[in-house]
Chain A
Amino acid sequence: MLEVRAFSAGYKGNDVVREVSFHVELGEAVMIIGSNGAGKTTLFRAMCGLLESSAGEVIFEGEAVAGMPAQRLVRRGIGFVPAERHLFPRMTVQEHLTLGAYPKRPDPETISIVFDLFPRLAERRRQHAATMSGGEQQMLAMGRALMSKPSLLVLDEPTTGLAPKLAHEAYEALGVLRRQGLTLLVAEQQVPLAMAFCDRGYVLENGVIELEGTSEELASDPRVRQAYLGVT
């Protein structure tokens, strides 16, 4: 479904990620793990058209989409939930969901899927995003992305700034979406959570892919165990 080949990107000629290759198949949940500053955010932002890439290819559903701006990628079915969320501070939950479906009218069925998934959003329909808690903002960012009915949902550190209980809830919601047939690509620092959830993963360190494998393979790799799972 998604294939990224020898992809490089960064700021002002300094590539933060270099020749990264990975793929995501239909229905899979794939994680990119790595420590802070490894380049996960740069990789996702460039792949999702918020940042220019300097080399490489991105093939989504058979079409070369590298360099395509975010506003066009979302219409092709890539939904992106960035780590900084990028909500509209002075707009209500309802307005976010309406805009999420832009330029179409919001589909009532999709709205009820979002509200079933996050009942808190239904309660806070008329509340402005700026007045919501971190957990609620994360739900809103995910809900807004779902309104465009993406076939691939890309999430950059969906648990940033969330208490452990809320982080678990975020992954429970992702589990529901997966059972509904959504393909997922997640960047995560909280490796145990992501590992329990995803089928496969890649380890990104200093801008290059160091390791790849199924979650079980990665969990038993001594380097991963030491660096990310706190096992010595």
Chain B
Amino acid sequence: MTATILDGIVLGLQFGILAVGLTLVYGLGGVLNLAFGQMAVVAALVVSLAMGAGIPTIASIGLGLLAGGVFGLLLDTTLLRPVYRRRGEARVLLSLLLTLGVAFVVDGLLLWRFPTEGLSLHIGGDAVEILGVRMRTGSLLASGIALAAFVALFLFFRGTTLGKAVRSIIQDEEGARLVGIDPNRMRTLILILSGALAGLVAVTRSMTSPVTVTQGVSFTIFALIVTVVGGLGSVAGAFLAGIILGIVNTVSSFYIGTFLTYIILLGAAALTILLRPSGLLGVPE
């Protein structure tokens, strides 16, 4: 049981970072990015291809994160421009349709050009014993990176003026404009960050299990579920919900079966919407 829960935490930390990438873009721009998982997969592919070309692992990972960021930048400066000109529901709907289209196109291209490509990073070293459970170094490294990313995000949003500027748009866009903050520039910045975070999760996931080019949709779904449970626009909520759902995921896979895990996770999201529509740490509208 302890082993299952620890595995759940490892998985949950990745879920959490994934959700942050999705929820920030939603909170800032009212855009729900259904091509989010494809950002992760493209980043994984770039890392894999770069390593295949003989580039050192760390540099390859850097290229992967860069690719995720560029994906976000391209999305922001092309397809999302007309989306930002609309308000409210029209904006959310248009963003759903356009990014779903992007997801299909990217999935199709990947399956056509790189059907067997995938990324699995083997982290050497001996297993470490924690709470009587032998943890693989890959799991520990992945968790360490995810935790460091959370700390960095927290410091960015609480401690820097740029981070505060991003939060101010989430809280009151007109107020932000009145102090001289340009929402469009902040959205561009956050889409780049979102892509890089997706790439980071692809990399840390590949330290424990292979990431293949067909996993885009499942990345998006996990991010969506964690976002709903944690509360839209909340980094701390994503962290908490990520860990809870990570544990739910591994425990139910282990004791009930993998085939039911998705249903149980979606059930958790549905229950959250019923009982606490703004999520665990979200702010009621």
Check: A39 CB closer than 8 A to any chain B CB: no
User: Does A99 reach chain B (CB closer than 8 Å)?
Assistant: yes
Tell me how far the C-beta of B88 lies from the nearest C-beta in chain A, rounded to whole angstroms. Answer: 14
Asked whether, in the complex, the Cβ of A90 is within 8 Å of the Cβ of B178, the reply is: no
Contact pick for A50, options B171, B177, B180, B181, CB 8 Å: B177
B176 surroundings in chain A (CB, below 8 A) = 71, 88, 99
Contact, CB under 8 Å: B179 / A148: yes
Taking A102-B180, A148-B180 as contacts, is the C-beta distance between A88 and B174 under 8 angstroms? no
- Give how many A residues have a beta carbon under 8 Å from the other chain's beta carbons: 30
Which 6 residue pairs are nearest across A and B when measured between Cβ atoms?
A86-B175, A88-B171, A70-B177, A74-B180, A71-B177, A86-B174
A168 proximal to B (CB < 8 A): no
- Nearest Cβ distance between residue B172 and chain A, in whole angstroms? 5
How far apart sit A105 and B162, CA to CA, in the bound complex (Å)? 11
Identify which of A48, A72, A88 gathers the most chain B CB atoms within 10 Å of its CB. Answer: A88
From residue 146 to 184 of chain B, which have CB atoms closer than 8 A to chain A? 161, 164-165, 167-168, 171-172, 174-183
Q: Is the CB of B167 within 8 A of A70?
A: no
* Interchain CB contact (< 8 A) of B171 among A70, A89, A145, A147: A89
Interface residues of A (CB under 8 A from B): 48-50, 69-72, 74-75, 80, 82, 85-91, 95, 98-103, 105, 144-145, 147-148
Q: How far is the CA of A154 from the CA of B220 in the complex (A)?
A: 45
* Shortest CB distance A110–B (Å): 13
**Contact call B172/A71, Cβ cutoff below 8 A:** no
Contact yes or no, A91 B177, CB < 8 A: no
Contacts of B183 in A (CB 8 A): 71
A102 B283 Cβ-Cβ under 8 A: no
Of the candidates A50, A85, A89, A144, the one whose C-beta lies within 8 Å of that of B179 is A144
